[in-house]
């Protein structure tokens, strides 16, 4: 079955909506959609200061990658 297609803006909105549900990810301030080789899309996270991106952010991105492709 083909995945639903979303624009970069739609994917960003979905990612940020999900990340805000997790207090351990409060230091995440934004996300960009990137297009690496051999993948439809991936997420590049921006955080406050020297914080490390919470592992939940990567889990959220993987779950959404399984559901949606980039237009």
Q: Which of 1, 36, 29 is nearest to 15 (CA)?
A: 29
What pLDDT, on the 0 to 100 scale, is given for residue 52?
Answer: 96
| pLDDT tens per residue across all 71 residues of the chain | 789 999 999 999 999 999 999 999 999 999 999 999 999 999 999 999 999 999 999 999 999 999 999 99
Domain hosting residue 9, numbered range: 4-70
Q: How many residues does the chain have?
A: 71
Number of domains comprising the chain: 1
| Continuous segment of H or E residues that includes residue 10 | helix 8-19
| pTM above threshold 0.75 | yes
What pLDDT, on the 0 to 100 scale, is given for residue 1?
Answer: 74
The residue with tokens 């919470």 is: 54
């Amino acid at each position: 079955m083909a995945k639903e297609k979303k624009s970069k803006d739609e994917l960003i909105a979905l990612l940020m909506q999900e990340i805000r549900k997790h207090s351990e990810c409060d230091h995440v301030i934004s996300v960009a959609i990137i297009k690496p080789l051999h993948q439809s899309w991936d997420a590049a996270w921006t955080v406050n200061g020297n914080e490390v991106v919470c592992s939940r952010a990567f889990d959220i991105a993987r779950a959404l990658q399984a559901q949606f492709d980039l237009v």
